[in-house]
Structures are given as structure tokens and as C-alpha cells.
Structure 1
């Protein structure tokens, strides 16, 4: 399916690259020509051992870009009195850092001190989507790694309980449109959620309803059985999308069927523009892929780093 939109992607690139002025497709052409092959192999190897790796890498990249831009600050370890982003509440469940460590190690062996961790993470997120059956695209490169990472700043990440106004504000602050919001939300087609992220919809929803009435009753009953209010199993949860290891447009179909998991997913039906986009992407996987690629390039071009880290977990 990725090949069918190759021509569209090349057109998208022309408008998107200008967002990150220092980024270019051939940034490592002379200094590290094999970087993309090395990263792709590292992601593939990690995925062969753990099928949850692609979802983890895509989420990791999103969580990185939404704090200080795509500067790999999410990869830094806490040190001394400083609690880093990865130890902030929304990021506790992030995993697959080893995949980035392995990719970085192999890249350093080939091209020491050249490729940023931020670029490796951007490439890995692309490879994660492609490995899961989604589209591929050319990633503009040249990001720098940040030197600051604060757990307190993770409060800036859009929460699964956000309404449409909160989502729009969060995305617009980063130069992202309503279409970007709906398209990037499609990344939820991969992944798993713990009960805490959606329990607001299935227990004590409001003074009138115990369960969010927008949920399909049989789906709500299933969620309540997985996530009982009392005696809940540790780490209980469910996949966000029934086809969780396949990158497709099932997520949008589920929203229209009353089977979305998060309040923020359901909120996409709360304005005519976002609702139309949900319907469009539910009907056409090709349209979703085109929009997702465009929005990923746009989001991934937000950068504010200063250096090329030798080790992704610590500053130089």
C-alpha cells in the first residue's frame, strides 16, 4: 500500500520541508550514507523480539516532539535532582528505548559523532509505521539533540481525557492544524492502553450516567469487565484498536461505531471539520496515509536541539 502513495509523498515533501529550515533529505549523504539502513535494521531486529516495539517507537517520537520539539529530550535519563521527561507521569509506560540505543550504537560504529539521536528517533518512528503495514516516507534530517529534559514539562502532552478545544489548543501551539490533529490521532491504530487512561468513560462518567453514552453498550461492557472499579488486575488494559499491530484506518471506523477508547478520540466527532475528516479517513485508507505522512513530516520538523549526543541517554 505504501508504494501506491509514493507520488503523493514526494509532492507533500516540497511543502513540508520548509518547516524545518535546517533539515534536508540528503543531510547525511556524504557523512553517513548508510544511516537509514542501519536504523531500519535495528528497528526490525527489535520488533522481531517484541511486537509492541513499533507502537512504542511511534509514541516515543510523538511524546518527544510535543515537549521541546523533536530533540530526543525524551531519551535522556534522570540525573541528580533533575527528573527527566521519561520519568514524568505520561511517559512512565514508554518502552523500547533499547531499540534506539542499539541503533545509535551501530550508527556510531559507522559514523562517529555525526548522527543525532533526534534523527534516529524520527527515522525509527517512520520505520515502525512501515514495518506495521503503513506508509513509508522520506524523512528530512539534520535535527540536533537537546540538553534539557524535565519531567514537569510532560504536563504539556495532550491527555486522553482532553476535549476538542483542549486538543486544538495543544496542537495549534505547535503549529499543527485540525487536520494534523485528526491524522496524527490515527497513530492510535497501534498500541495498548492501561485502564487509567479511559476509566473516566466507564465508571462515574457524570451525575446522570455511569458510562459515557457515546460508547457502544457491548463495547462499554467489555471495557468494564477488563477494568473493574475494584479488584483491578495490575497493568490491566486493552489494545486501542482491534488490529493493534497493523497500521491501518480501523481506528477511525471504531470511532464512528462508538468503540473509541479515549475521550480525546471521541472528541474528534465534536466539530464538523474533525468529524468529516474521521469519516474521510474511515472510508479511505489511502486518504489517511497521505494525511498521516504529511502531518508526521510537519510535526517531526519541530526542532530545538543544540548538539549531537554520543550517548542518547546523557548529554555530552
Structure 2
């Protein structure tokens, strides 16, 4: 029987769809995280978990994960409801649908900031689960959440300025005969330097300079080295240890593109971060 299997509290026996709410004494938001990810989640018993997560430079996300083997999601529709002890209060008309869904996971992105605001106001969440052959209304309590929400926000505030996917590789491109990074590239290098200083797993920063083939081999080698040196100088200025930097000048070797119309793609410096193996 579904009720005994899930170990959930039956809140309404006469509704069109069965309605379930996790046991109140076990309902709490748990916070975990580090400088790479923050997570706030609630255990929904054998039904699954509901979690909010945030990574650097990515939107906050809500994810419903189903644990019961026989329950497979076809669709999920959610909305904000009043707390169980405040039925007379009118809940805001906030609804949300998954951005991605499969049999076991539904991910929400677009309305999540609004949902978080409603949790801060003390509202609960209700999810309408469309399953093969049945529908279930799952109510997610939001009890004693003030401290948890504050901890979650503190974790978000301490996230790195970039994700690893963004920081691991960056290319700067140059006008003809230019050696200095542009203002935009310099601003990005400052952000990248902050990431390098905070991500203790970064053991080396490779800085490779390149040129087009419009000059002599010697002149191109010198130009590529000067460009790489300027990038290294910016990173050092912004706080990166010189010992982490490895500068290499390639001149016009290893072109990224061929042909006179694409020479600007070859005038570049490639910055790559190398992490220790975990």
C-alpha cells in the first residue's frame, strides 16, 4: 500500500488526488556547501528529497529527486501554499514548472528566486506529481526556516566568482602589434586571479602566447612572449603567486586559424588552470 510504503502522513482522504506531507517532527532544511556549491535540502521520507542549490555564476536551482523505485515522474506542477496552521491566510499566486524532467528528477530554474522569497515569508510548497496511473499532491513544509535560509544565503555570498568550467581556460585576443590586454580582458583577469587564490586545488597556471604569421619568426617569438608576460604581470599584480605561473612563447607556431582573414584569431594568449588530482 502506497501510504505504508512511503511512511508519509495522509493529510486528506477525500481529495481527488492523494495528498501527502512528510512528518512534521522530521521536517527541516539541511544546509551544506563550500566555495564551489551551496545546497539546502529537505528529506521527504521514502518519497525523495527537495533541494535548492547554487553554483558560481549559475542561477539558483530547485530539484525534486524521487527515491521510491515504483514512482516515475511524468510531470510536476508546483505552487505556494499557506502554512498548515494558517489556512485562512491567502497565499501568493506563485506557480512553477520544471525546466527539465525525467522519471526520477525534476529541475526548476525560472521561478526559483521568487519561490525562495516566499519561503522567507513562511509559505510552504505544494507539488502536483503526475505519475503513471495516478496523481499525488505532495506538500513540503517550511518549518523553522529562518536560520536555514540565512545560512544558505551566507554560503551563496561566499561562492567563488567563477565556476571551474569558466575559470579553467581563457583566451585573450589582440589587435595587430598590440601587447597589452584590453580593459575588458584585464577586468576578467582580476576576477580570474581571485578564483585562483581561493581555489586551493589550482597548482599551476599555464600562459601560452601566440602571434599571426605576418612577421619574422624571431619577431613573432618576441611578441608572443611579451603578450604572455603582460598577462602574467596582471595576474601577479592581482595577487596570484609568481611560483604558480608557467609562461611559454610559441610565436606563429600552432595557429588557431588559417588565412589572412582570420589572422586575428592567432594573435592570442591562452590561460589554462591546472588542478591537483583528487
TM-score range relative to shorter protein? under 0.3
Query: TM-score of the superposition, structure 1-length normalised?
Result: 0.18
Query: TM-score of the superposition, structure 2-length normalised?
Result: 0.20
Larger RCO, structure (CA 8 Å, separation 6 or more): 1
Specify the structure having the higher radius of gyration (Cα): 2
Higher percent of residues as helix: 1
Higher percent of residues as strand: 2
